Amino acid sequence: MRFLLLAPAALAFAALTLPVLAQDQDLQRQLTQRQQQSDAFQLQLRQSQERLQVPPGDLKRQQDLDARQVGERQRLDNVSARQLNEIRPDTPQELRPYERQKAEDERRPLTVPAKEPALRTGDEPRPLPASPRGIVQVIEAPR
């Protein structure tokens, strides 16, 4: 009999909390999407600045840069889509900021590149050979 009295209260409580959980998941999804849009814009800006560094007549470098940049955009899009699918409604509220930070850290290498060594075009002079590096001990041997 006691169960029959508690069942409607439990159903009412579940009916009230489910929309809150759905709103929380929707809010997390929107926050993640906003950060992903910022990251995509940052990548687009960096890529357009890189493109300005390539001389207009250097078709080979332009094609290489375009191919690399398309790959970077595709990787960022794939990671972003996967992250949106991984948002779970049962994650505790306290862990939500950690999840967003983890997702941002995962996207960071895709938007901020590692420094690439400057490519040599062959026009500039080669450096002179340097003396050996490190400790060099001269050993005298009988002749």
* pLDDT tens digits along 114-139: 666 566 566 677 666 666 566 667 77
Give Cα 77 to chain centroid, integer Å: 10
Q: Residue 28 in contact with residue 87, Cβ under 8 Å?
A: yes
Query: How many Å apart are CA 36 and CA 40, to the nearest integer?
Result: 6
Residue 125 in tokens: 């002079």
Query: How many Å apart are CA 140 and CA 143, to the nearest integer?
Result: 9
Rounded average pLDDT over 46-50: 93
∠ CA 38-61-76, nearest 5°, is 25
Structurally, the chain folds into a number of domains equal to 1
Q: Write the CB contacts of 22 (distance below 8 Å, at least 6 apart in sequence).
A: 89
Query: How many Å apart are CA 89 and CA 21, to the nearest integer?
Result: 6
What confidence score (pLDDT) does residue 18 get? 46
What confidence score (pLDDT) does residue 63 get? 94
Note whether residue 134 is domain-resident: no
Query: How many Å apart are CA 100 and CA 84, to the nearest integer?
Result: 11
Note whether residue 138 is domain-resident: no
Note whether residue 122 is domain-resident: no
Residue 26 in tokens: 């929707």
Q: Is the pLDDT of residue 71 over 90?
A: yes
What confidence score (pLDDT) does residue 45 get? 94
Note whether residue 77 is domain-resident: yes
Note whether residue 98 is domain-resident: yes
Note whether residue 133 is domain-resident: no
Q: Is the pLDDT of residue 105 over 60?
A: yes
Q: Write the CB contacts of 36 (distance below 8 Å, at least 6 apart in sequence).
A: 80, 83, 84, 107
Q: By residue range, what is the domain housing residue 32?
A: 2-111
pLDDT, tens digit, 9 for 90 and up, residues 20-47: 445 678 888 999 999 999 999 999 999 9
